[in-house]
Chain A
């Protein structure tokens, strides 16, 4: 069963019959869905079902899976943002981490634009001195700096207060409005938020490994 997000453009990322096992235990099987430009998708599921692993596979970090995960082209940039792992050097500040991957950081617009998310002082502090919420924001800002075509947000809103959660979602929607495809994994109740698709990842052994809510 293929779930497809709303817009009609070709998918930026297409998953077909993706199955993942970890240490011989099947997490999920035959997951198929597309992420199309300008769409915001919510992915939910119970603990341990493999949401994080699925996102890591989509980002190319986890490579042991069956099925296909096909980006529209090799130039598609996929950014994974996780509350569990910043994908940055914790002894460096966000500014220093960004300096590794981007040019002319001091004039980096992505930092100044998102000053409402993380203050200038915190941008210059080593990540290991920040709170978990601030680190999540830093990871999010880092993902923005690479101008992603697809952004995968893994529990990014969980450690955030309401104001910052709203700001992150608003910033994500801004990206989506520019043609980015966003996928949010969350256990939060986001009933008031509008998504183009709400999907639930189910455990292996179920007849339909993947189904929409």
Chain B
């Protein structure tokens, strides 16, 4: 039974990636948004005349900002496509388990946000004149971004199911996701800041929130799927 659900989950995840590979819409949006934001933010840093030390301190927060904003801009796209094509209804009529639908979507968003993180980690330090700073390429940096991306994906996959049918769904989704993600953002900045004190606490915040969001998503997703049609469009 568990293996069956995992197999379905894998097939759904692969489907999301295949569709994205054919459409290329999300990847293009992510790359363009990441480059654009990196240019704007690093220009601001140069304009402020920050010293190299200040730019080093600022780099993690800017990287995570780019990750957050680009991820939020694409996080609802999978669900919108599901709803517009009617394919989600088809999956529900075929008794595809809700857990598989949710977890596969979390995995797909996780991969996509990781691409955003990768692009940001290559571009932003270079634009800030800090090519030696590649915070995301350390074990701790990768784990931190993975944790934040997981939180984004867990909340995004659930809440995008709520908002995908709503006319102003994009804004609605941002309003719902942002308050949940901001604590992760602060914790990520603390972890990536390079200061050793208090690291354990912030790691606990990141992975603890991830666990809560994922558990809540798994629990609530079946109700969301059944009741989402009752929302005013």
Interface residues of A (CB under 8 A from B): 59-64, 77-80, 85-92, 96-97, 99-101, 103, 126, 142, 146
Contacts and interface: CB of A to CB of B under 8 A. Distances in A.
Contacts of A88: 85-87, 90
Given A63-B230, A146-B93, 19 more contacts: A60-B92, A63-B226, A64-B229, A64-B230, A77-B95, A79-B93, A85-B86, A86-B85, A87-B90, A89-B87, A91-B23, A92-B15, A92-B19, A96-B15, A100-B12, A100-B15, A101-B96, A126-B22, A146-B95
B11 A100 contact: yes
B90 A91 contact: no
A78 B15 CA distance: 24
Contacts of A64: 229-230
B97 to A, nearest CB: 11
Contact of B19 (A63, A91, A103): A91
Interface string B9-40: 00110010011001100000000000000000
- Tell me the dominant secondary structure on chain A's binding face: loop
B50 interface: no
A90 B93 contact: no
A61 B11 CA distance: 23
Q: Using C-beta atoms within 8 Å of the partner chain, give the interface range for chain B.
A: 20 to 34
Most buried by A among B90, B96, B229: B90
B87 A99 contact: no
Given A92-B18, A92-B19, A99-B11, A146 B94 contact: yes
A85 to B, nearest CB: 4
Contacts, number: 64
B91 interface: yes
Prevailing SS type, chain B contact patch = helix
Interface of B: 7-8, 11-12, 15, 18-19, 22-23, 85-87, 89-96, 226-227, 229-230
A114 B23 CA distance: 30
Given A88-B87, A89-B85, A96 B93 contact: no
B86 A87 contact: yes
A91 to B, nearest CB: 5
A161 to B, nearest CB: 24
A100 B22 CA distance: 17
Contact of A96 (B18, B92, B95): B18
Nearest to B96: A101
12 contacts: A60-B92, A61-B92, A61-B93, A61-B229, A63-B226, A86-B85, A87-B87, A87-B90, A89-B87, A100-B12, A101-B91, A146-B93
A45 to B, nearest CB: 22
Contacts of A78: 93
A61 B139 CA distance: 46
B18 to A, nearest CB: 7
Contacts of B89: 61, 80, 85, 87
B202 to A, nearest CB: 39
A91 B22 contact: yes
A89 B23 CA distance: 12
B80 to A, nearest CB: 13
